[in-house]
A and B are shown apart, each in its own frame.
Chain A
Amino acid sequence: MVFSSLVFLFVFLSITLAVYYLLKPLPIVFRNVWLLIASILFYAYGEPEYVFLLLASIVINYACGFFIERCKDTVKAKIWLVTAVTVDLLILFVFKYLNFSVSLLGDLTMKLFGFGIESPGLSLPIGISFFTFQAISYVVDVYRGSAKAQKNPLYLGLYIAMFPQLIAGPIVRYKTIEEQIEHRNVQTVDFALGIERFSIGFSKKVLLANTFAIMADKTFGLARDGDFLTAPLAWLGAISYSLQIFFDFSGYSDMAIGLGRMFGFKYEENFNYPYMSGTVTEFWRRWHISLGSFFRDYVYIPLGGSRVGRGRLILNLFIVWFLTGIWHGAGFNFMLWGLMYFVLLTFEKLTGIGKGLKGILSICYRTFTLVAVVFGWVLFRAESLGTAKRFILSMIGLGDDFYSGIAPWYMKQYWLFFAVAFILCTPVLTFLLKKFEHKTWYGVVKPVIVMAFFMISLTYLVVNAYNPFIYFNF
């Protein structure tokens, strides 16, 4: 089930909220159990066959967490940790990477021995990358002693399967909500803040991301089909996809944070104006923050981080960015995308470029960063390396004729969406709104405008307008 759907709003969310607040007079355990049941139903709605996988992940990590704490500071604790992480990664490998690996192996055996190997054809359980990483963060935090093992398996289940972050993140650390699971109190203002955040995220997804998706999907479709793709159109498509993925992903994060808040959970921020970044390193501090910090804390730093020799540093960066690439999907384009960032970040790390740049040089490097990110999204979005190559060739003017009139045709229609999107990619609006916060009318006008956009977004869902779900690879 996706948040930007009528079924989610008018069946799932309304019933879940109603029952949750009816249970408010009772001890919190009742509300937690209800949230867990609702989250399992939420997952089962789209992936009934994989509910048991989710439940198995909960049980295994609960048991391992329990034994890690019990055997604290002994070798056994490490064995339990290794067991948990191995099982988590094995689940991730089987369901996410086995098809891809077997098909590669099949190609190899076909070339060498003249026979192929049939792919197992497993479908990817939605959100598996998110809930597996949350489970890993739990057992590692328990091992490190930065969190206590959860005594109640249902509560661990709630942490791993909690519906707001289950299918599109953010990756919530156990220690962030450890306390909140058993001790939280939703004030009216929290609920209202949750509504505000959810509505803003919902509008970003439906009004902006879905609109940019029209242009992005059109242009990438042209590249895939070998159709007429000119340089302006390719740039329009690349920029559209850059905006689509930002407003879709940050919109989903806003919705998750807002929904969490409605139920009393306070999640960390996941985006911080990433397209304002002056360097590629800064971009990754502002984009999908929960994933970046996961790899930093659970991979990069355990490998030695940057306090190692130059060769080892490069290796560490390579491992982290290769893993970041394939975390987003099993495909060569994701590997290449991850490796592109490995090259850029290694370059920045080794040269220290970006730190001391001022004036025109700073603007130039900021522009370079943004252009590199846009090219990166082309690799990320293209369904094959061939499509990516064709798209990039078109962007640099080596594709079809230079002019077809299609890019201006789109711009004429969607200029307002681009203008709004560019403004929302910067903190300008937030800065301006702060100036009015003390005005009496602001308390009325802001919620009315936010809810008006929410209602307009609803009309798009009723129309059945284009509403792609872009997290099927995760």
Chain B
Amino acid sequence: MDGKKSKISVYIYICIFIAILFMGTVLNVKNIPKAVTGGDYTDGFFGRYTFVEINGRITKKLGIKEMNERLLLDSGDSLVNPMYGNVWLFDNVEKTVDLSRKLSDKNIPFLYVQVPYEIDMNDDEPILKTEHSDDVANEFLQRIRAEGVECLDLRAYIATEYPDYYEAFFRTDHHWKSETAFSAMGWISEYMEDRIFHESVPGEYKDPASYETEIIEDSFLGANGRRTGKNYAGLDDFTVLTPKFETSLTLCDDNGELKTGSFDEVLLYREYLDSDSLYENSMYDVYTGLDRDYFKIINNEPVIDKKIFVVKDSFSRPVIAFMSTIYREIVAVDVRYNDPEKESLYEIIDREDPDVVLMMYNPYMLGTEEGFDFE
């Protein structure tokens, strides 16, 4: 760097660099305590989602199909979270079998419901040859079935009902759509009618025509999409299903009754439908709100006088909401958030004394320890 030209270079370098450092520091002063205490400094970084969107646009322009550990599939433009690595825990098989046996001793039926994953096992995207969500679920089911645990594999229903597998799921979120969750409620209810309760649920409760359909178009950026921005992932439509028939429900948590009213009043958390909070909120949380350790829905005018206990993950929330219109009580426990020191899953089951226990897990849960912390 010499002469007049070098002076220009020197000033350009210094001006731009100092400007970036100065603005980046000043605009994020509030995050410094987080940085000092080892918190996530990036979370809350000024203009974070503008950066995310710029990055998403560049990545998409370059034709790159992976961004921030998410994979953009050709099939339906779905953005998915592949389960690379054949991860599952043998302990989890034992714990599930144990749970089933202990319930059997108390004459409480147990049903393991295999929730599908967001990736179609028949997808011919090359990289998915190393994706193992279905292998994990197959292995787990095979082992617990061999030990006499009753299982309902919803993947088979999805394969039959959805010729385009990805239609069952949001494009930008790992969860199934409201409509799919509603179908799942129907499949589970029918299975219980036939195999456990031997009592029929009137068809209207499982018929989508009995529900109002409210479609909010191009409004939902799912959990996968929030990692890449909408420029990369696009947006989903979101459907809210509300019963046309009369409902009277009561929602309770650990502290007692929260609210009583109709399905809409009690189970729909409409604040999550605000499309202006694209990056902060997930519309998927509209049904029963965020994941929590325990909640109970009491149907004050039940169709079937049974108490269902659900060991759940996030896929179960809309299913439970729809199910609550039928059964007397639904108790939902998310073991990941439950403190077993306070009250273990077994203790909660003893206290609630349900007519059936359902365990509904998606394949990702089968490789986690926290999802099986029962005692």
Contact = CB atoms under 8 A, between A and B. Distances in A.
Interface in A8-39: 9-11, 13-15, 17
Given A404-B126, A463-B68, A227 B51 contact: no
Given A193-B1, A413-B63, A463-B55, A11 B126 contact: no
19 contacts: A7-B35, A9-B21, A10-B21, A10-B41, A13-B21, A14-B22, A191-B14, A192-B9, A192-B14, A199-B17, A218-B130, A404-B129, A414-B64, A443-B6, A447-B13, A458-B51, A459-B58, A463-B55, A464-B42
Given A6-B45, A462-B52, A11 B35 contact: yes
Interface in A423-444: 438, 440, 442-444
A342 to B, nearest CB: 35
Per DSSP, chain A at the interface is helix
A11 B9 CA distance: 26
B129 A462 contact: no
B10 A189 contact: yes
B130 A227 contact: yes
A188 B127 CA distance: 50
A409 B127 contact: yes
Contacts of A189: 1, 6, 10
Given A447-B12, A463-B55, A466-B68, 17 more contacts: A6-B28, A9-B24, A10-B25, A13-B21, A188-B14, A221-B84, A227-B85, A406-B130, A413-B62, A413-B64, A443-B8, A443-B12, A447-B9, A450-B13, A451-B20, A460-B55, A462-B45
Contacts of A409: 125-127
A184 B55 CA distance: 40
Contact of A225 (B7, B25, B85): B85
B129 A406 contact: yes
Task: Enumerate the 4 nearest inter-chain pairs by beta-carbon distance, A residue then B residue, closest first.
Answer: A443-B5, A405-B126, A462-B51, A192-B10
Contacts of B65: 413
B66 interface: yes
Contacts of A413: 62-66
Interface residues of B, number: 51
Nearest to A448: B12
B54 interface: yes
Contacts of B217: none
B347 interface: no
Contact of B85 (A10, A221, A450, A455): A221
A98 interface: no
Contacts of A191: 10, 14
B29 to A, nearest CB: 9
Contact of B54 (A193, A228, A416, A459): A459
Contact of B9 (A443, A456, A466): A443
B86 A227 contact: yes
A396 to B, nearest CB: 21
Nearest to B86: A225
Interface residues of A, number: 55
A336 interface: no
Contact of B48 (A214, A455, A462): A462
B58 A218 contact: no
Contacts of B58: 456, 459
Given A192-B10, A461-B42, A11 B32 contact: yes
A221 B14 CA distance: 42
B9 A459 contact: no
A10 B35 CA distance: 10
B146 interface: no
Given A6-B41, A10-B24, A459-B58, A466 B69 contact: yes
B16 interface: yes
A444 B8 contact: yes
A376 to B, nearest CB: 26
A81 interface: no
A248 interface: no
Given A195-B14, A412-B63, A11 B41 contact: yes
Contacts of A455: 20
A456 B64 CA distance: 16
Interface string B20-43: 111011001000100110000110
A58 B20 CA distance: 35
A192 B64 CA distance: 34
